Structure 1
C-alpha cells in the first residue's frame, strides 16, 4: 500500500470518528444557548485542550511550517503571538467576561454602553473577520489537494462540507471535545517526526542547505514580525473563539486557568513545526511553502505517522472553523436577528435559523477560500481588521468607567477608516498592522471626554 492510499484511508477513518463524536454531542445542544456554550459543561482538560486546538491545527502547524520554509526560525513569531494571546486573555479579561453571563461579545458591549449600536458594530466586524479566519483555515485543505495533484476546488468543498455538517450537529461541545483529541494526536505525531528528523541528521542537512541567517529569530523585516505577532496577541482580548471557550467552562476558575495553561503549554510546541518547515525547504528547495508540511509528511516521515498527522491536521482545521462558524451563528442570531427582526421566536424556529446561518456563512467562506493563497496572511489580516475596529471600543469600555457610547462608535469608525486608507488607498503607515489602534484610541478618549454626562444629570 503506497503512502497516498494509506493517507486517504486514515483520513476517512479519522474523519468518521470525529463525526461520531459530533453525533454524541447532540445531547449538549438541545437549545440555542446550549449549542453555543456546550451547556457549560467544559472541564479544565476540555477547555484547555480546546484553546490549544484553536491555533494548533492550521495557523501554528501548517502556517508555522510555511513560515519556517520562507523565513527559517523567524517563522515562529505567529505561533508566539498565538500563545501570548491566551496569556493576555487569561490575565487581563477572562474573569470579567465570565462574570458578564453573556452569550456573545456583542452582548457584553450592549450591557456596557446601553442600546444595541456598539454590539451590532462588533457583530458585523467580527463576522467579516471570522470569514477571513475560516478561509485561511480551509486553505490548508486546498493546499493538500493541490499537492496531491487533485482539484483544489474539490478540496475546499469537501473540507467545507464536513465543517457544515459537524457544526450544525454538535455545537460547541463537539468542537471542544474533538479539539482535545486533535491536540493529542498532532503533538504525538510532531514529536515522533522530530525524533525521526534527529535520527536522520536533520540539523546537519538544514545547516548545509540553508543560509546561516535561517537560525536567526529576527531573520525577517521587523514590521513583518510585528504583523505576525502583535495583532495575533491583541486579538486574544476580543477573540470570539476564546470567549466561547470561556463561557463554556463549568466555573470561573476553570475559565481563567484553562486559557492561561493553554498558552503556556503551547509555547514550546510552536517551534517544532517551524523546524519541520526548515527541514522541508532544505530537502525540497523548489517546493511550494504552503504545502511543505504535506510534502515532508508524505515523502520523508514513516507513512503511518505522516498519514495520521495529516488526518489530525484536517480534523483540527475542521474544529477550528466550526468554532468560528458557531460564533458567527450566535452573533447574527443573538445580536442582529433577536434584536432587530424577531425578539420572541419559538425555540424550534431559532434552531432552524441557526443552521441556515451556519450554512450561509460557510458558503461565503468557501468562496473567499478559493482565492486565498497564504494562510498566515489571511489570519493576520483578520486580526488587524478586528483590532482596528473593536479592540479599543471593547477593552476600553471594560476598564474605563468614563467611556461613552459615542466614544466607542468613534473608536471603531476611526480604526476601520485607517485600515481602509492603508489597504485600499495606498496610504502607508508605520507598522500598518497595528497603527490603526492608535488613532482609534485617540478618538475614543477625545469623544468620550466630550460626551461625558453632565454632573447634574449623572447625579440624578
Structure 2
C-alpha cells in the first residue's frame, strides 16, 4: 500500500499547490464567488465535469451497478438528458450573470422565493457534501486499514474545508482541471485492463446474471424512472452548474463548455458503471459484497497486481477516485457557503460590507457548513439512498421554478413560492407520511409525489395570479 499512499500524497500536495497559486488573484467578492467571471471554455469543461461526477456516481452509481448491472445507467442517463437541455440554457445563464440561484429567483420572482431557495440549496448541497466525506473516508480506510472509515471521513472533511476556503471559485475550478484530466485518462485506461483481469468480456457475462446486461435489468420501469428523474432535474437546476456559467468569460465560452461537458459525462459515467460491473464479476463475495459502494476503489486496490505497471495504474485509479470525491465535495460545499454570504449576509445583514469582510465571512461559512456536512455524514448508511434524497429535494423544490424563469413567461412569484414550498415539504416529510398511504403509493420514492406537488403549485397558482411584468422577464429572454 506504500505506492497508493505516495500517489495520494502527491495528489493532495498538488491540489493544495493549485489552491495556494490562486490565492493571490482573490481580491474581491466576484473573484471569490465567480472567479472574476474569467473562466475559459477549457477550464469550464473540467470544472463542470468534476463537480458533477463525484460520490453519487463513484459510490452510489457504482453500488447500483454492482447490484443491478448496466441498468444503473438510468441514473446517469437522467443527467445526460438534462445536459442536452442545458445547451440551450447556458448562454442565457451567462447573460444573466449574477452570483447564485437565489439571485435569479428574486430577480424573476420575489424575496420569499429567494429565501426558500437558500433553504433548499442548504439542505441539498450539505447532504451531497456529506456523502463525499463518506466516499473519501472509505478510500482512506482501504489504503490505510488502521484508519477507520469514520476517521477517514474526518480527514477528508479537513482537506476539503481547507481547499475550498483558500481561494473560492478560482481554486475550485483550476483544481478541477487537474482532477478531470487525471480521472478521465486513468479510468479509460483501467477498464480494458480490468476486463482482461476478469478473464475477458465473455467470462464477465457468464459470471453475472443475464439481467445485468439488459436495459431495465431487474428494475421495473417505474424504478428506472425514479433513478432517472432526480438526476435529470438536479442537473437542470444545479446551482453549482449555474455558478460556473456565471463565472464564464463569455456566453460563447459557456455554450462551448457545455458541448465538452456532455461528451465527457457520457463517456465517464459509462466507464464508471462498466468498471463496477466488471469488478462485481471478479469480487462476488467478501468484504465488498457487504459494502458494494466501494467496488471501484476495492477493484483498484485488489485487482491490479502482477506487475509494477499494473500496480501504478491501480494506484492512479484510486487516486483519481479520491480526487474526484474531493472535487465534488469542494464544489458542493462552496455553493451553499456562497448562498449564505451573498443571499443572507450581504443581502440582509451588512449590505455595505467591504470585500475583505465578504471574503472573511465566506471562508467562515465554508468551515461552518463543512462541519454540518460532516455531522450528516456520520449518520449515513447508504450513499445511494442519501444521493437520491438530496437530488429529490432540489429536483422538486427548485428545478421547475428555475426552468420556468427562462422558458415560461406566465410563471409568477406566488406560483414559484408555492412550488418551492410544496416540493421541499413533500420530500422531507415523505418517509413520515407514506406509512399511512396504500402500499402501491408508499412503496414509491419521494420524487414522483414531490415533483407532482411542485408542478401543481407552480402551474395552478401562477395561472390564478397576476402575470409578471416585462421588466421581470427581460433579463431571462433569449
1:198 to partner: Cα distance: 3.7
Encode CA deviations 1:287-317: one digit per residue, 9 max, x unaligned. 2201111211011122111111212221221
SS in structure 2 at match of 1:89: helix
CA contact (8 A) 2:411 2:468 kept: no
The count of corresponding residues between Structure 1 and Structure 2 is: 451
Structure 1 unaligned runs (5+)? none
Whole-Å separation in 2 of the counterparts to 1:104 and 1:293 = 34
Matched residue, 2:208: 210
Q: Aligned in 2, Cα 1:169/1:272: closer, same or farther, shift over 3 Å?
A: same
Matched residue, 1:165: 162
1:268 to partner: Cα distance: 2.9
CA contact (8 A) 1:57 1:314 kept: no
Encode CA deviations 1:239-291: one digit per residue, 9 max, x unaligned. 01101110111100111221233012321332222222122222221222011
CA contact (8 A) 1:384 1:434 kept: no
Matched residue, 1:291: 294
Whole-Å separation in 1 of the counterparts to 2:466 and 2:139 = 55
List aligned pairs for 1:80-119, cutoff 5 A.
80-91=77-88, 93-114=89-110, 116-119=111-114
Partner residue of 1:300 out of 284, 287, 303: 303
Structure 2 unaligned runs (5+)? 305-309, 473-478
Matched residue, 1:323: 331
Encode CA deviations 1:120-177: one digit per residue, 9 max, x unaligned. 1101111110011111222211222444533112111111111111111121122122
The answer on 1:451 being equivalent to 2:459 is no
CA contact (8 A) 2:103 2:343 kept: yes
CA contact (8 A) 1:407 1:447 kept: yes
Encode CA deviations 1:199-240: one digit per residue, 9 max, x unaligned. 342323322321111111211232332222221111122101
Matched residue, 1:154: 151
Partner residue of 1:182 out of 179, 182, 186: 179
**TM-score with structure 2 length normalisation?**
0.89
CA contact (8 A) 1:44 1:249 kept: yes
The answer on 1:222 being equivalent to 2:221 is yes
1:8 to partner: Cα distance: 0.9
Whole-Å separation in 1 of the counterparts to 2:32 and 2:251 = 20
1:366 to partner: Cα distance: 0.6
CA contact (8 A) 1:59 1:79 kept: no
CA contact (8 A) 2:116 2:421 kept: no
CA contact (8 A) 1:7 1:311 kept: yes
Whole-Å separation in 2 of the counterparts to 1:388 and 1:368 = 21
Encode CA deviations 1:60-82: one digit per residue, 9 max, x unaligned. 33433322211111122222223
Encode CA deviations 1:43-101: one digit per residue, 9 max, x unaligned. 1111011111123343333433322211111122222223333322222x222221112
1:453 to partner: Cα distance: 6.3
Partner residue of 2:58 out of 53, 57, 61: 61
Name which of structure 1's ranges 287-296 and 160-169 shifts more when overlaid on structure 2.
287-296
Whole-Å separation in 2 of the counterparts to 1:191 and 1:264 = 14
Matched residue, 1:131: 126
Whole-Å separation in 1 of the counterparts to 2:62 and 2:405 = 38
Whole-Å separation in 2 of the counterparts to 1:136 and 1:358 = 17
Whole-Å separation in 2 of the counterparts to 1:101 and 1:179 = 22
SS in structure 2 at match of 1:267: helix
CA contact (8 A) 1:135 1:365 kept: yes
Whole-Å separation in 1 of the counterparts to 2:243 and 2:433 = 35
Whole-Å separation in 2 of the counterparts to 1:30 and 1:142 = 34
Q: Aligned in 2, Cα 1:199/1:285: closer, same or farther, shift over 3 Å?
A: closer
Matched residue, 1:435: 449
Two-structure CA RMSD over aligned residues (Å): 2.1
Partner residue of 2:420 out of 397, 402, 412: 412
CA contact (8 A) 2:61 2:72 kept: yes
